[in-house]
Structure 1
Amino acid sequence: MPLLSVDSLDFSVGHRALLNKVQLTVESGERIALIGRNGMGKSTFLKILAGQARADAGEVRLAPGSRIAYLQQDPPLDDRASVYQTIASPLGPIESLLTGYHHCINRVAAGDEAALTELARWQHEIDAVDGWSIAQRMDEILSRLELDPDASLADLSGGAKRRVLLGQALIQNPDVLLLDEPTNHLDIGRIEWLEALVREFRGAVIFITHDRSFLKRLATRILELDRGELTSWPGDYDNYLRRREERDHAESIQNAEFDKFLAEEEVWIRQGVKARRTRNEGRVRRLEALRAERAQRVAQQGNISLSLGQANVSGKIVFEGEHLTHRYGEQTILHDFSLKILRGDRIGLVGPNGVGKSTLIRLTLGQITPDQGRVRLGTQLNIAYFDQHRAELRPDWTALENLCEGGDRLMVRGHNTHGIGYLQQFLFTPDRARTKVEALSGGERNRLLLAKLFAEPANLLVLDEPTNDLDLETLEVLEQALLDLDGTLLVVSHDRAFLDQITTSLLVFEGEGRVREVIGGYEDWLALRDHASAPAPAPAPKLSVKPATNAAPPPPRASASSPRAELSFKEKHELARLPDDIARQEAVVEQLNAEVNRPDFYQRPTPETTALLARLTDESERLEQLIERWSILEARAEGSA
C-alpha cells in the first residue's frame, strides 16, 4: 500500500487552474523532486498534501498510522519563543511538559534548590505519558542541528531559523517529509549535512528546490508541475532533462500541425455563399470544437530575458588590498589577507554563514575600511550590486515604482523606456508590475532586483546570493547572461552548480580570518580539499625554478586520470583567459622574487620579511595552480578535438 496517494486533485485561483485532475502515488523510500516555474503552484500542492490548504476537488490519502511533516518556506514564527519551545510545538500536550522540564533543569543547574522539588513533579508527569523517548529525540535533534535550545528566535540568523523549522518537522518522526526550498539560507556545509540526512531518511521525501546539486544528488523521481498538469519522470534529473527536451520538441510540432489545420478550416468556413450553402454541418461542429480546444490551450510561460549593457572598460586593477585585517568585536573576519582583483576575473566567495564573505564585498565596494591594511579601488569602475537582503526595495512601493524610483519610466542602457514594458521581459504582467513589493513572492522580488541590476551598464558586477527563490529555467538564463559579461564578477553563493558554471576561481573562507584562493569552481575545490586530506606520499626533491616574465605556458601534461569529455562553455571561456592570467601571475611572482633578492632584504624588520616570503609562497602556489589548470583544460580540448 502506498504511503501517500492523490486522486483527481483540482485547485484554481480565479480562472487559472494550478492543479488539474492531479494523480500521484508515493512509496516508502522515494525521494521525489517537485519542479516547475515560479507561480505554477508547487508550494500550494505541498500545503494541500500537508493538510494546510484545501483542494477544490479530489482526495489526498495517507496510509493508516502514518504521519506527515512539512517544512514551509517562510512560515510565521513567534520571535518571543525559544528554540526548544518552537521545535516541540507540534507535539501537542507533551510540549508543555518537555518545555517545563527543560526550564526546570536550567534552574537546578543555576543552583536553585527550590527547583529540585518541582523537577520531581515534571519527571513524574513525563513518566505518566511515556514521554522520555520524545525527550531523548529532542536532545538528538538539537545536537545534530547544533542549536542552542534556550536561544530566542529573535536573535537567530535566517540559516539558524531554517534549522529550527527543520527540527520542528523532524521531531514529529514523520513517514512522509515535505520540504519547500530546504536549502534557502543554508551555507554549503549545512546543505551537505542536509543531503546526508535526507538520503538516510527511511520514509518518503517530496522536496522543492532550486539547488541543482541538491536535486541531482538526491532525487530518485522528478515531478513536473506545468500549467496545472503533474507529470512523473522516473530516474534522476539528467534523465528528466533529456526526456523533457524530447517532449517539448514533440509538443511544438503537434501544436504547429494543430494550428495549421485550424487555419485551413477557418479559411473554409469563410468561403463564399455557394460554399456556405453546401457546407457540411458536421465539419462546422468540428471547427467549433477545434476553436474551443485552441482557446483552452495554455501557453507555456516565457523565459526571462537578461542582457547586461556593456560599460566603459575599467582599469586593469579592479581592487587591491594588502595585509587586510578586520574584526567585529572579538571575531576576526580577515587576518593579514592580501588580494588583487584584475579586470575580467570571475571570483566566487564561499564559506559558512557569518564568516566574512559579505564583509569582503563591502571592503571591495569601499563601503567600509579595514582595521589594518591598505585598500585601493580601480579606476573607471561602473558597479552593479545585488543585495541578498533586498534592502534596495521599498515594500510600500509597487514593483514599477521601485524600478523607476517612484515614476513609470527609466533609462535602460541609454534609452528612455516605459517600466511596464521593461518588466515584461522579467515575466511581470502589468497587474503584477503594479503590485506592492510586500505582496510579491520571493522569486518575484529577486526578478525585480535583477531588472534593476541589468538596466544600467556595468563593468564590475557584485552579486550577493542572487539565486535564492529563482526557478531552474531562470537560473540557467542568468548563468548565460553572466557568461556573456565582458567585465569583472564577484559572487557570493551557496549554489554549487551555479559556482561551477560561472566562476574561474574561488575565495574559500575557512574561519578565524583565513581565506584560501582556489583556481576553478566548487568541484575543483572539493578535489583539492579531498586531496589535501588524503595521506601524503613521500616528498620528492623540489627544484627551485624562477619563472620568467610572460613565459609561455608549458605543454599539457598527460594524465591517465584526466577526463576527455568535451569542454563546457564556461571551461572554453576559462581556457581562453588562462594564458593572460598566467602571464599576470608570473609578473607578480617575478616582482616578489626581485624584492626578495635585493641585497638589503634580510636587513629589514623580521615581520616585514616574513610577510613578504609568505606572500611569495602563496603567489607561487597560485601560479602553479593556474598552470596546472591550463594543462588539464588544454589536454581535454586536444583530446576531444
Structure 2
Amino acid sequence: MNYLSVEKLTKSFGDRLILDHITFGIAQGQKVALVGVNGSGKSTLLKVITGMETPDSGEVVFKNDIVVKHLLQNPQFYAGQKVLDAVFDSNNPEHALLKQYERALVRSAAGHENHGEVQQLIEQIDAQNLWDLESQAKQILGKLGIHNLEEEVALLSGGQQKRIALASVLIQKPDLLILDEPTNHLDIDTIEWLEKYLAVANMALILVTHDRYFLEQVTDNIIELEAGKAFTYQGNYAYFLEKKAEREANESASIDKARNLYRKELEWIRRQPQARGTKAKYRVDAFQETKEKAFSAQKTNELNLQANTARQGKKVLEIEKLSHGFGDRQLISDFSYTFQRQDRIGIVGPNGSGKTTFIRLITQELAPNSGYIELGPTTKFGYYRQVEDQFDPQQTVIDFAKEIAEVIEVGKGRSIPVSQFLTRFLFPPEVQYKPIGKLSGGEKRRLQLLQVLLKSPNFLVLDEPTNDLDLITLGTLENYLENFEGSLIIISHDRYFMDKLVNHLFVFDGQGQIRDFPGNYTDYRMQAAESPQVAKPTEQKKEKTKEPNERKKLSFKEQREFSQLEQQIADLEQEKSRLIDEMNQVTDHEELSELAKRLQTVSNELDQKELRWLELSELT
C-alpha cells in the first residue's frame, strides 16, 4: 500500500511546462530522492505534494491515518515563539506534557519553588511511559546543537532556525517525511549523524539533496526529473548513475533512428500533391510524430566550464601569527601559513568555529586583531560567498553577464562571446533573456558562481559552493576545479566534494586553534576515529618528511591477504550486482527491505576490502 500516490500531475508557470503528467508512488519504508538540474521542478513538486502549490491537473493522495511532516527550504516561525514551542507539537498530548515538564525544569533551575509541579509531571510521564520519547527528543536536539529551549527563534540565525525546524519534524516521528536540502546549514558531524538516523528510521522519506554520500547511504529509490518527465530508478545513487547512462544511450540511439526515418518520410511528403487522400493521412500523422522525436534534440545538460586563469606569481599569500576574535571569544590564535601555487585546502570545523571569519580575513574584508596577511602582487581572488548575492530582479541574465565581460578568454588565445559562455553554463538562449527574478534558487546560485569565474581569478575561495546546486552542475564544477591552475580554498559540508578536490585540511576546533592535516576529509575522519590526537602539527611534519625508502614491506601474511583480496572484491561486486537486479524485480515490501539490508552489508564489506587492498597496494 502506497503512503503517497502521485497521479498524472501537471504544473506550468506561464508558458513553461514544469511537470508533465508525473506519476509515482512511495510505499511504507521507502526512501526516495528527487534529482534533476536546477529548474527541473524538484522544489515545485515538493510544494505541490505538501499543498503549498496547486497543480494544473492530476492528484496527490496520502494514505489515511498516516502522519506526514515536511521541511522545505525556508521554515516559518511566528513572532515571540520559543525553541520549546517550535520543536514540540502542542496538538500532540504527549509532546504537550513533555513541553510542560521542560518548562517546569527551567523554572526550577531559575530558583522557583515548584518541586510539587515537577514531581506531578514526572508521575504523569512515568504513567504514560514517555521517558524514551523524552530521551530521544533530547538526543535529537543535542545532536542538532539546540540546547537553550527558551531562546526566541526569530532572534536566531537562518541556519539555527533550519536546525530547529528539522528537530521538530524528527521528534514528531512521522510515517512520511518530506525534506528539501536537509543538509544545508549543517556541519559535517551533524550531517553524518542525520545520515545514520534517517538510514535506519522506520519511516518513508522523500527528499531533495545534492549530497552524494547522503544519497548513497540513505536512499533506496531515485526519481529523476528531466524535461517535465519523471524517470524512476530502484537503487541508490551509484545504481542511478549507471542506469541513467544506459537510458541516455538508448534515447540517443532512438533519436538517430528517428532522424533516419524522418529523412525518408520527408522525401515521401514532398513528393505528394497538396490535396492528399484520406488513406495517406495516417502516414502524415506518423510523420509529425517522427519529426518531433527526431528533433527532440536530447539535452545533455552538461555544464562545460572553461575560463582563463590570471597568471599567478611565486608569492601567493603569507599569513604570520594571525589572531582574531569577537569580544571574549578567540576564533583564531597565532596562526601562520604560506600558501603555495595550486594549494588545495579544505576548511572544516563546527558551525561558529571561525571558518567564514578566516575567509573574510584573507580576502581583506576584515582587519585582523593581530598578525598580518600579505598578498602576492599577482594574486587575484574569486570569492564565492555562502550568502546569495542580491541581484536586480528585473535585469536579464545576458545583461548581467555583459556588465562583467562581453567576451570571455578561454585560454591559448581563444575567446568566446559571453552568450556562448552562458549557454555552456546551462543558461540557454531562451533563459538568457529572462529577468533574474524569474530564476529558481539554484539557477541564481549558478549565476553567482558564473559571476566569480568570469573575472578570471587565480585564487578561488568557495564558501559552501554546493548549496542549492544540482548534481549535474556539481559534477562539472568538480571537473573544472580539478583542472584549475590557481590556488583553492573550500569550506563545504559536502564530503564528496571535499574528498575529490582537496589534498590537505585546515581543521578549526572552535577554541582558536587551526591544525593543518595532510589528506582529504575521509582521511581525516578515519584517523580521527583511530586516534584522538589526529593531525597534530608535529606529527604532520614527520609524515611530510618521511622518505620513500622507509616504507614498510609486506609480510608473508599480508602478501597472502593481498592476493586473496582481489577475488573477494570480485565476488562481492558480483553479489552486489545480483542483489540490485533482484531488487528491480521484487514487489513485496518485506522481501525488498531484506534485500536492501543485505545490499548495505555487502556494500560496506566491499568498501572495507577495497580500502584494505589500497593500503596493501601502497606497500607492494
With over 3 angstroms needed to count, the CA separation of the structure-2 counterparts of 1:489 and 1:96, relative to structure 1, is same
How big is the shift at 1:479?
Answer: 0.5
1:69 aligns to 2:65 (yes or no): no
How big is the shift at 1:380?
Answer: 1.4
Query: Out of 337, 340, 343, which is 2:338 matched to?
Result: 340
How big is the shift at 1:291?
Answer: 3.7
Q: Which residue of 2 aligns with 1:329?
A: 327
With over 3 angstroms needed to count, the CA separation of the structure-2 counterparts of 1:466 and 1:195, relative to structure 1, is same
Q: Do 2:465 and 2:492's aligned partners in 1 also have CA atoms closer than 8 Å?
A: yes
Q: Which residue of 2 aligns with 1:614?
A: none
Query: Out of 345, 362, 365, which is 1:364 matched to?
Result: 362
Q: Which residue of 1 aligns with 2:489?
A: 490
Residue deviations 1:483-507 (CA, integer Å, cap 9, x gap): 1111111111111101111111111
Q: Distance in 2 between matches of 1:277 and 1:112?
A: 95
Residue deviations 1:323-376 (CA, integer Å, cap 9, x gap): 322222122212222212111111111111111112222232233333333433
Q: Do 2:67 and 2:175's aligned partners in 1 also have CA atoms closer than 8 Å?
A: yes
Q: Which residue of 1 aligns with 2:29?
A: 29
Q: Which residue of 1 aligns with 2:409?
A: 413
Q: Which residue of 2 aligns with 1:385?
A: 383
Q: Distance in 2 between matches of 1:547 and 1:348?
A: 18
How big is the shift at 1:261?
Answer: 0.7
TM-score by length of 2: 0.78
1:207 aligns to 2:203 (yes or no): no
Q: Do 1:403 and 1:448's aligned partners in 2 also have CA atoms closer than 8 Å?
A: no
Find the residue that maps to 1:511 and give its secondary structure.
Answer: coil
Equivalent residue runs for 1:600-639 within 5 Å: none
Q: Tell me which amino acid in the other structure corresponds to 2:179.
A: L
Q: Do 2:144 and 2:190's aligned partners in 1 also have CA atoms closer than 8 Å?
A: no
Equivalent residue runs for 1:123-162 within 5 Å: 141-147=140-146, 148-162=148-162
How big is the shift at 1:258?
Answer: 0.4
1:228 aligns to 2:228 (yes or no): yes
Q: Tell me which amino acid in the other structure corresponds to 1:161.
A: Q
With over 3 angstroms needed to count, the CA separation of the structure-2 counterparts of 1:236 and 1:272, relative to structure 1, is closer
With over 3 angstroms needed to count, the CA separation of the structure-2 counterparts of 1:217 and 1:369, relative to structure 1, is same
Find the residue that maps to 2:309 and give its secondary structure.
Answer: coil
Q: Do 2:464 and 2:490's aligned partners in 1 also have CA atoms closer than 8 Å?
A: yes
Find the residue that maps to 1:216 and give its secondary structure.
Answer: helix
With over 3 angstroms needed to count, the CA separation of the structure-2 counterparts of 1:554 and 1:276, relative to structure 1, is farther
How big is the shift at 1:481?
Answer: 0.7
- Report the count of equivalent residues: 556
How big is the shift at 1:532?
Answer: 1.5
Q: Distance in 2 between matches of 1:364 and 1:243?
A: 44
Q: Distance in 1 between matches of 2:320 and 2:450?
A: 35
Query: Relative contact order: is structure 1 or structure 2 higher (C-alpha 8 Å, sep ≥ 6)?
Result: 2
Instruction: Determine what percentage of the aligned residue pairs are the same residue.
Output: 33
Find the residue that maps to 1:39 and give its secondary structure.
Answer: coil
With over 3 angstroms needed to count, the CA separation of the structure-2 counterparts of 1:288 and 1:448, relative to structure 1, is closer
Find the residue that maps to 1:526 and give its secondary structure.
Answer: helix
Q: Which residue of 1 aligns with 2:83?
A: 83
Q: Distance in 1 between matches of 2:453 and 2:551?
A: 39
Q: Tell me which amino acid in the other structure corresponds to 1:303.
A: E
Q: Which residue of 2 aligns with 1:46?
A: 46
With over 3 angstroms needed to count, the CA separation of the structure-2 counterparts of 1:39 and 1:91, relative to structure 1, is farther
With over 3 angstroms needed to count, the CA separation of the structure-2 counterparts of 1:278 and 1:464, relative to structure 1, is closer
Q: Do 1:91 and 1:172's aligned partners in 2 also have CA atoms closer than 8 Å?
A: no
With over 3 angstroms needed to count, the CA separation of the structure-2 counterparts of 1:25 and 1:336, relative to structure 1, is same
With over 3 angstroms needed to count, the CA separation of the structure-2 counterparts of 1:343 and 1:547, relative to structure 1, is closer
Q: Which residue of 2 aligns with 1:172?
A: 172
Q: Which residue of 1 aligns with 2:585?
A: none
Q: Distance in 2 between matches of 1:151 and 1:483?
A: 44
Q: Distance in 2 between matches of 1:390 and 1:64?
A: 40
Q: Distance in 1 between matches of 2:461 and 2:239?
A: 34
Q: Which residue of 2 aligns with 1:217?
A: 217
Q: Which residue of 2 aligns with 1:398?
A: 395
How big is the shift at 1:545?
Answer: 10
With over 3 angstroms needed to count, the CA separation of the structure-2 counterparts of 1:530 and 1:107, relative to structure 1, is closer
Q: Do 2:33 and 2:222's aligned partners in 1 also have CA atoms closer than 8 Å?
A: yes
Q: Which residue of 1 aligns with 2:426?
A: 427
Query: Out of 347, 353, 371, which is 1:373 matched to?
Result: 371
Find the residue that maps to 1:450 and give its secondary structure.
Answer: helix
How big is the shift at 1:188?
Answer: 0.5
Q: Which residue of 2 aligns with 1:193?
A: 193
Q: Distance in 2 between matches of 1:278 and 1:43?
A: 47
Find the residue that maps to 1:384 and give its secondary structure.
Answer: strand
Q: Do 1:308 and 1:458's aligned partners in 2 also have CA atoms closer than 8 Å?
A: no
Equivalent residue runs for 1:249-328 within 5 Å: 249-271=249-271, 280=280, 282-291=282-291, 297=296, 299-300=298-299, 302-315=301-314, 317-328=315-326
Residue deviations 1:185-225 (CA, integer Å, cap 9, x gap): 11101111111221231111111100111111212222222
Q: Do 2:255 and 2:294's aligned partners in 1 also have CA atoms closer than 8 Å?
A: no
With over 3 angstroms needed to count, the CA separation of the structure-2 counterparts of 1:71 and 1:403, relative to structure 1, is same
Q: Do 1:366 and 1:377's aligned partners in 2 also have CA atoms closer than 8 Å?
A: no
Q: Tell me which amino acid in the other structure corresponds to 2:474.
A: L
Of 465-474 and 81-90, deviating more is 81-90
Q: Do 2:551 and 2:619's aligned partners in 1 also have CA atoms closer than 8 Å?
A: no
Of 381-390 and 420-429, deviating more is 420-429
How big is the shift at 1:520?
Answer: 2.2
Q: Do 2:445 and 2:468's aligned partners in 1 also have CA atoms closer than 8 Å?
A: yes
How big is the shift at 1:408?
Answer: 8.6
Residue deviations 1:130-159 (CA, integer Å, cap 9, x gap): 897887876564344331211122332333
Q: Do 2:223 and 2:231's aligned partners in 1 also have CA atoms closer than 8 Å?
A: yes
Find the residue that maps to 1:55 and give its secondary structure.
Answer: coil
Q: Distance in 1 between matches of 2:236 and 2:424?
A: 31
Q: Distance in 2 between matches of 1:399 and 1:57?
A: 31
Q: Tell me which amino acid in the other structure corresponds to 1:465.
A: E
Q: Which residue of 2 aligns with 1:464?
A: 463
How big is the shift at 1:292?
Answer: 5.4
Question: Aligned Cα RMSD in Å?
Answer: 4.2
Q: Do 2:6 and 2:61's aligned partners in 1 also have CA atoms closer than 8 Å?
A: yes
Q: Do 2:77 and 2:154's aligned partners in 1 also have CA atoms closer than 8 Å?
A: no
Q: Distance in 1 between matches of 2:507 and 2:340?
A: 18
Q: Do 2:310 and 2:458's aligned partners in 1 also have CA atoms closer than 8 Å?
A: yes
Show structure 1 runs of 5+ residues with no match.
536-541, 566-631
Q: Tell me which amino acid in the other structure corresponds to 1:37.
A: V
Find the residue that maps to 1:337 and give its secondary structure.
Answer: strand
Q: Do 1:88 and 1:168's aligned partners in 2 also have CA atoms closer than 8 Å?
A: yes
Q: Distance in 1 between matches of 2:436 and 2:229?
A: 29
Q: Which residue of 2 aligns with 1:598?
A: none
